[in-house]
Amino acid sequence: MNLTIVGTGYVGLVSGTCFSEMGNKVTCIDVDKTKIKNLKKGIIPIYEPGLEAMVLKNHERGNLNFSTKLSDGLKKCDIVFIAVGTPMGEDGSADLQYVLTVAKQIGQEMQKELIIVDKSTVPVGTADKVKNAISEELQKRGVDIPFHIVSNPEFLKEGAAIDDFMKPDRVVIGTDNDFAVEQMRALYSPFVHNRDRLIFMDVRSAEMTKYVANAMLATKISFMNEVANICELVGADVNQVRIGIGSDSRIGYSFIYSGSGYGGSCFPKDVKALKKMAEEKGYDARLIASVEEVNDKQKYVIANKVISRFGKNLLGKTFALWGLSFKPGTDDMREAPSIYMIKELVKRGAKINAYDPKAMDEAKHFYLKNINEVTYFNSKYETLKGSDAMILLTEWKEFRSPDFDELKSQLKNPIIFDGRNQYDEERLAKKGFEYHQIGKKQIN
């Protein structure tokens, strides 16, 4: 098929690249001329394992092309995917200005029957707005060209997006049109040929599914973080509790690990948007609101442990920080717990020696660019010299089995604050470490 993907952000670029991998002819459109110029040169704007090689391969084959002109993509197009950003507004709602701008442009440029797919995460009812925007532009042109609106939300995990797209758990498609069903089934059949994972439903239910999925996962995270905090107070070990409840098949082990809270581009934004959708209909979504409140507090849990151990005045203290991105496998720092923890410690006079395998450029140039108290290092061990303690916030693989003898020899004090509960406390105790984790009181 001939596909056009409007938006070369995380969702658009991954989707377009994976579609091209299956032999489709894909044109990715973006208004950012620099980004398109770089993509044509093979310069990828995001870090995602396996993405760069796949982009380069399919661009060389001619299956994947890039342009700043929507008209270039619509000439021979069968399906258009709208994959532009829906940033969070000040009131927590999703900002649809970019989605609707693209819809208007499609109405102005389309020349043949099209299927228009909302790939962006959008509130319930957006498909109707997209349909109206396109219809208005067609009326202005005085033409009657058939088109069909489809909702096809993405369920990609950063750090595993290629595998998620190529081997999906499910593909949700919302439409009430038989032709659209037929075309979308044909498009996705190579991805689900071993087992039919296509789930067809009405458009509004498809739009709702993405928000509910992310809110459900966020709820599990906040619930376990709340449990972890209670475990500390009553003398229980949240790691053992997790094993005890995870063995129940009704609960399972996924997303029940305690930590420093969730971040990224999806969970925070989608939880807020779902809460806002409920408010607009006069419903008080208390549980969803609580999920957000617990998470906001949890981002400071390690900072509070540091303050409890070293005092409110941290002037003259330096901390080695391992991990900046909100999760391993990505350079994404949006709503990362590291941002909140760093700002809290720096506010109290501390200095930070930071290392992350992928996210340091993001930190330097965007999220922490005005914080001079942060120094960046090229390896995890370089952060340790002269530091009063080590803090782990992102569970990158290279942090899982460090040389603890090296840590002890480099740190001023053998103290570890573990924001992801990665280490064996008995092993650390034998080596003489003071170990602070989440969900269990520290050992000395």
Helix (H, G, I), strand (E, B) or coil at 28: strand
Question: Residues in the chain, how many?
Answer: 444
Query: N- to C-terminal Cα distance for the chain?
Result: 62
Is the dihedral angle over the CA atoms 69, 71, 75, 76 positive or is it negative? positive
Beta-carbon contacts of 139 under 8 Å, excluding residues fewer than 6 positions away, are none
What is the Cα–Cα distance from 268 to 234, expressed in whole angstroms? 29
108-109-111-114 Cα dihedral, nearest 10 degrees:
-90
Active-site residue among 18, 28, 231, 266? 266
Count helices and strands (H / E) in the chain: 17, 14
User: Is the Cβ–Cβ distance between 193 and 46 less than 8 Å?
Assistant: no
Distance of CA 149 to the CA centre of its chain: 26
Beta-carbon contacts of 226 under 8 Å, excluding residues fewer than 6 positions away, are 294
Burial of 313 (0-12, 13-18, 19+ CB in 10 A): exposed
18 is catalytic: no
CA distances from 370 to 41, 265, 298, 339, 374 (A): 31, 22, 24, 12, 9
Q: Tell me which residues are annotated as active site.
A: 266
